[in-house]
Amino acid sequence: MTLLVLVALTGSFVLSLVSTWVVRAVSRRVGFVDRPHAHKQHARPIALGGGIAFVVGIGLPLLAGTLAAFLWRDGSPPTYLPMQLRQNIPGVASKLPTILALLGCMLALHVTGLIDDRRALGPVPKFAVQIGVALVTAGPMGVRLLEFLPTPLSIAATVVWIVAITNAFNFLDNMDGLSAGVAAIAAAIFAIAAASAGQIFVPVMAWVIVGTLAAFLVFNFSPASIFMGDAGSLVLGYLMSVVPILTTFYDPHQSLRPAGVLVPLVVLAVPIYDAISVITLRLHAGASPFRGDHRHFSHRLVARGMSRRRAVLTIYLATAATGLPAIALSRVDWPIGILLLVQCLCVLTMVAILEHAAPRDDTNK
């Protein structure tokens, strides 16, 4: 398993590093750039198209791996493969239809994002594509939340979850390195949690995402030289919504406790908090919840005196603080699980109090 993780990480990292470098050069040459205007604070045009590197860095390894397993399923796999991997080739091969459908959904969101990056589409077309992709995922693909519910309710819950998390990461893409870094931390936690539950396919998939994002951050962390754009953030949000659905966090036959169902909420607590808080602030101000502004979590930290880099690193830390306890959730009973959820809420509450506290005036003391 360790060798497989290293291959997934390094392979996706190198592939993404090269593809991001190439995309950045091409985007600059053809003028596919994000120019400073309105609520955007960068002083010069920045290359767009980072989402193309996501599709390459994530999609190609997943497709190549499952295709290889599919071709080897009835024969003799190469002897240089680890025994654990060879034993799981039939299981990986069975995931090929899911991977093909997943890549199709990623491509639909990616193309929509590319069009929007070039010419703003508005929220309605983007929501229509997101809902369509979510319905395909929950319907024909059979990737669903809460499968103990009647099928229509399970599909509805899955659609709401996918659309919500997709938009949460789209919202979070408001500062250099923020959305990619938070997603990398979340994907790493999902990978560890899934591996501890005895799974192989989902952890490898999550490590591929981590490797891809780590390479992208080489170019995207402040000061960024390329942006992911909607072509990247929509794909990233979709993947972050689907990975936990594909993971088995509760299975009494594997000694996985019911509290494991809380894992996605705990790991993605920070993106969810940012989305809920910014929508609430926009509605309170009488603004459209989908119109970009400086009301995000990261902007509020900068308004408290942090540099943009420090604000991003602080949000990374908050993501780790709320997400790391999730690794143990599938192994604990409900009372401990609830306590870990409360701990997560306490961290978010503390953050909210600190970021909204008014500075004291001590000049008269």
Q: Is residue 365 over pLDDT 60?
A: no
In the structure encoding, which two tokens stand for residue 304, read together? 């408290």
Q: Is residue 133 over pLDDT 80?
A: yes
Report whether 238 contacts 104 (CB < 8 A). no
The verdict on residue 155 lying in a domain is yes
| pLDDT tens sequence across 187-218 | 999 999 888 777 788 888 999 999 999 999 99
pLDDT at 147: 78
The verdict on residue 331 lying in a domain is no
Strands 33-34 and 46-47 turn out to be antiparallel
Report the amino acid identity of residue 344: C
pLDDT at 363: 47
Query: Across all residues in the chain, what is the average pLDDT?
Result: 84
pLDDT at 249: 67
pTM score of the predicted model: 0.89
The verdict on residue 152 lying in a domain is yes
Which residues share a beta bridge with 226? 47
| Structural domains in the chain (count) | 1
Domain that holds residue 207: 2-252
| pLDDT tens sequence across 222-238 | 888 899 889 999 999 99
The verdict on residue 33 lying in a domain is yes
Q: Is residue 258 over pLDDT 60?
A: yes
| pLDDT tens sequence across 342-363 | 888 988 888 888 776 655 554 4
The verdict on residue 293 lying in a domain is no
Long-range contacts of 117-126 (CB under 8 A, 24+ apart): 117/32, 117/34, 117/48, 117/49, 117/229, 117/230, 117/231, 118/32, 123/290, 126/230, 126/234
pLDDT at 332: 76
The verdict on residue 289 lying in a domain is no
Q: What is the CA radius of gyration of the chain?
A: 21
| pLDDT tens sequence across 77-106 | 666 666 666 666 777 777 888 899 999 999
The verdict on residue 323 lying in a domain is no
The verdict on residue 23 lying in a domain is yes
Report the pLDDT averaged over residues 108-128. Answer: 89
Write down the residue that tokens 């319905």 correspond to: 135
- The Cα 99–Cα 134 span in angstroms is 15
Long-range contacts of 361-364 (CB under 8 A, 24+ apart): none
Q: Is residue 299 over pLDDT 90?
A: no
Q: Is residue 268 over pLDDT 90?
A: yes
| pLDDT tens sequence across 14-56 | 999 999 999 999 988 888 887 766 555 555 788 888 889 888 8
Model confidence at 112, in pLDDT bands (50, 70, 90)? very high
